[in-house]
Amino acid sequence: MNEVELSGYSLKGIIKEVLRYKVGIFAIGILIFLILLSIYAVITMPYEKTIYMWNNSQLWLKNPRNAIPIWWSIFIGKKLPTNINLSKYVKEKHISDNPKRIEYIYSFSYNYDEFPPELNIFFKSNYKKDPPVIKIYWEKPNGDKIFLLERSLRGKEDTLYIQNIDKLENVLASYIKEKVGYYPTYPLTVMRGLFVDNSGNLSIYKGNYKLYLDVTFNDQNDTINIEPILYGLVYGIAGTDHLRRPLSIALLWGAPLDISFGVGAALSITILHLIFATISGWYGRRIDFIIQRFTEIFMLLPFLPLVIMISLFYKLTIWKLLLVVILTSLFGTGVKTQRALVLQVKNLPYIEAAKAYGASNMRIVFLYLIPKILPPVIPNLVISIPGFVFLEAILSLFGVLDPTQPTWGRIIEDAFQNGALYKGYFYWVLEPSFMLILTAISFAFLGFAIDKIVNPKLKEM
Amino acid sequence: MMVKESPIFKGYTDEQKRELIENRVKNELKRRGLDKPFLIRSIYHLKNALLLNLGTAMNMTSDSGSMQVKNIILERLPLTILLFTTASVINFFLHLFLGLKLARKYGSFFDKLVVYLSPTSVIPGWFYGIFLILIFYSWLHILPPGGFVDFPPPTNPILYALNVLKHMILPLSAWIISAFFWGIYSERNFFLIFSTEDYVEVATAKGLPDKEVERKYILYPALPPIITNFALTVISSWMGAIVTEAIFNWPGLGQILSRAIGLFDAPVIVGVTVIYAYLLAGTVLLLEFIYTLIDPRIRV
């Protein structure tokens, strides 16, 4: 074992020294960014509410599914559609009073380079006996008005998924056939049929569209609330997942969860190792023997399979898992290396002096020995943090961790489960990975910078 | 056997039927040893685990159709060892060679580069694997995203081996990239310490060629700790293999574990954990022997 020189740095001194290195500034900069992100997440989105929102799929119905982040479209060089809530552009027109008949006209312009993926119309109506009957028309920019369908609502709350109504494909195909002269040569879907131009190619007709909803009520007092949404391909700064949830929530909340998990595990394990090592080195004899044998046993435990097994059998939450991780690495290599340090320090004059004036064993262990061997331990502490952050990701990846927590590992797992790598939803994997890498790199660089300071032997090399 | 519907017990009253059921439950509990206290049960389990008496799986079968946990695991173990021992061996020689070179060219550009980039190794191999799949499969479409061989597998044994090799490229390179800088950095530091020894200075002063100094005066005395390092890397490679196998769909022990997790097949999960413990303990034991063989200073 290499002899580690014991330097006399205090914590404050270490931080001051770290800032003298470029790498140190870089690492601390990223770290501050992550901490600010965590604070922002905790303040703006209360934990309980976030967990509730994250696990409630009904809340997100009005978001696009698997939408890529807005900034991504800059790289593609195309103008990709965002969500358009058509109820903003509504005009009401009374047609008759008996029976009560109102026409809602939504006129909007569509100038994007891609077809929108979905058009859903959410109805909420209040009726006495029979639901209102709705006729839907679609007007293309050239003024052609196409009758799409007629139906009565199926309940007080009803949603019309326009892109899923197969019948419409025929309606739109015959319109295109009439215009172009032949049946469309490309595979036609409803959304393509709605937005394609009359050139015969699959290109978008840019311009002003109108959606007509002709509602015939059964009773004078019946009312209706319509919210048609034209879904986009891009959403927010982070995009959405397969359940239409905005990834930004999980990316933000992943920071406090993952970092506190990593720091919590690394800190408590290192402190426990430190205490065991000091006790083992200071007391010697039988206590030393017991602790060293325990350490050897723990070093032989297959850590990862064990943790996976425990968290699977007991359905652990992330905080209970933290406890399990600490318990399964209670003794480890740290105990061995730090005990060697204690043996070096043990016979220094100031300890002799403490013994001479009758300091108790506990006082010597906690006040004189541990502070002395702390500095060389700090780099390892910091460097071990990313390992635990990745451990969280591993456990999420195996699906053994609490699925309700919005962590980075969880997003990667969701992405994998839904074939993001094969379907081309790269943002879904890259965003949480980027955050993980940022965290890992910042802690690693910080740890290495501290290492250079507290172990000056390395600096000379 | 159904008691309530069975015609055999038709004449029984409800009371008698319930008694019959309770008796059967009690017998079954006794048969499985569940009536014993937890500690005693633990000793039984420990004994079974030590004797590799891993029992039968609940749902899973091995490729040959056996439900014995032992067979399921032993069938896949060679594949894990094939991939990850190869990775460890490649890493070992790569780090040794480049570390030695850098230690001799201390202070050069590459030396500094390695020192600065060494923290990138905190990112584990499987994580690099995700990016490699992204680049070489999803984007460039030149390498398979995972698996062991193409389906259907080639019949020609040479083509078969080449095909397996092709599937090994991505996982192997993920591991090599992950360990690259840190591995070289630590070997370099290690050799730097050894190359400041007096006998190395003497050898250089004598005018021995660089190669000989490297081999005889630096590498040879440093061998025991290097071997330890290697053995420990091999062990940890099998553990880290769990995730890499899951990512790359490599049909080894790790995949067995992740499938068992999916099916909640408790005996297999326990079995895999036991096998890992055995592998770990076995390697450490082997290490003790090797150590005494190569280091003459250690005597039993």
In A, what residues contact B, Cβ < 8 A? 2, 23, 300-306, 308-309, 312-313, 383, 386-387, 390, 393-394, 397-400, 412, 421-422, 424, 426, 429-430, 433, 436-437, 440-441, 443-445, 447-448, 458, 461
Distance CA A76, CA B292 (A): 62
pLDDT, average across residues A340-352: 81
Distance CA A291, CA A279 (A): 9
User: Inter-axis angle of helices B223-248 and B125-133, to 10 degrees?
Assistant: 40
Cα angle B109-B112-B114, degrees, rounded to a multiple of 5:
110
pLDDT at residue A260 is higher than 80: yes
pLDDT at residue A227 is higher than 70: yes
Q: Which two tokens stand for residue B259?
A: 């499938």
Residue B101, judged by CB atoms within 10 A of its CB (0-12, 13-18, 19+), counts as: middle
Q: Considering chain B, what is the average pLDDT of its residues?
A: 82
Q: Considering chain A, what is the average pLDDT of its residues?
A: 84
User: Between chains, do B131 and A433 touch, taking CB under 8 Å as contact?
Assistant: yes
Closest CA to B188 of B124, B94, B120, B123: B94
A265 pLDDT band, cuts 50/70/90, is: very high
pLDDT, average across residues A362-387: 83
Give the model's pLDDT for residue A184: 82
Cα angle A298-A299-A300, degrees, rounded to a multiple of 5:
90
Distance CA B128, CA B115 (A): 20
Q: How does B232-262 read in b/e, with b if 16+ C-beta sit within 10 Å?
A: bbbbebbbbbbbbbbbbbbbbbbbbbbbbbe
- Domains in chain A with CATH codes: 11-55+245-454 (1.10.3720.10), 81-230 (2.60.120)
DSSP for chain B, written as a single string: --SSS-GGGTT--HHHHHHHHHHHHHHHHHHTTTTS-HHHHHHHHHHHHHTT---B-SS---TTS--BHHHHHHHHHHHHHHHHHHHHHHHHHHHHHHHHHHHHTTTSHHHHHHHHHGGGGGS-HHHHHHHHHIIIIIIS--S-SS-SS-SSPPSSHHHHHHHHHHHHHHHHHHHHHHHHHHHHHHHHHHHHHHHTSHHHHHHHHHT--HHHIIIIIIITTTHHHHHHHHHHHHHHHHHHHHHHHHHHT--SHHHHHHHHHHHT-HHHHHHHHHHHHHHHHHHHHHHHHHHHHH-TT---
- Higher pLDDT: A12 or B157? It is B157
pLDDT at residue A219 is higher than 70: yes
User: Between chains, do B273 and A390 touch, taking CB under 8 Å as contact?
Assistant: no
Q: Name chain B contacts of A393, Cβ cutoff 8 Å.
A: 127
Confirm or reject contact between B277 and chain A (CB < 8 A). Answer: yes
pLDDT, average across residues B149-164: 84
A263 pLDDT band, cuts 50/70/90, is: very high
Q: Name chain A contacts of B228, Cβ cutoff 8 Å.
A: none
- Please give the C-alpha separations between residue B126 and each of A85, A356, B119, B173, in angstroms, as whole numbers: 42, 55, 16, 10
Distance CA A227, CA A157 (A): 11
Give the model's pLDDT for residue A11: 66
Closest CA to B242 of B281, B278, B282, B269: B269
pLDDT at residue A399 is higher than 60: yes
Quote the minimal CA–CA distance from A382 to chain B in Å.
Answer: 11
pLDDT, average across residues A268-285: 87
Q: Which two tokens stand for residue A264?
A: 């919590």
Main-chain phi, psi angles of A414, to 5 degrees: -60, -45
SS3 of A102, please?
strand
Q: Rounded to an integer, what is the distance from CA B29 to the centroid of its chain?
A: 36
User: Between chains, do B138 and A422 touch, taking CB under 8 Å as contact?
Assistant: yes
Residues 6+ apart with CB under 8 A from A298: A328, A329, A330, A331, A332
Cα angle B263-B267-B269, degrees, rounded to a multiple of 5:
65
Global ipTM: 0.77
pLDDT at residue B1 is higher than 80: no
Distance CA A119, CA A139 (A): 15
For chain B, positions 180-199, list CB contacts with chain A under 8 A.
189, 192-193
For A42-74, give the secondary structure using H, E and C: HHHCCHHHHHHHHCCHHHHCCCCCCCECCCHHH
Which residue do the tokens 């450490």 mark?
Answer: B284
- Higher pLDDT: B255 or A36? It is A36
Give the model's pLDDT for residue A9: 59
User: Between chains, do B257 and A308 touch, taking CB under 8 Å as contact?
Assistant: yes
pLDDT at residue B263 is higher than 60: yes
Q: Name chain B contacts of A447, Cβ cutoff 8 Å.
A: 119
pLDDT at residue B18 is higher than 60: yes
Closest CA to B287 of A307, A299, A289: A299
CB count within 10 Å of CB B205 equals: 8
Give the model's pLDDT for residue A457: 60
pLDDT digits (tens, 9 = 90+) for A6-44: 455 566 776 777 777 777 888 888 989 999 988 998 888
Interface probe, candidates B122, B255, B285, chain A, greatest A C-beta count within 10 A: B122
Top mean-pLDDT range of A205-209, A416-420, A422-426, B256-260 = A205-209
Q: Whole-model pTM?
A: 0.81
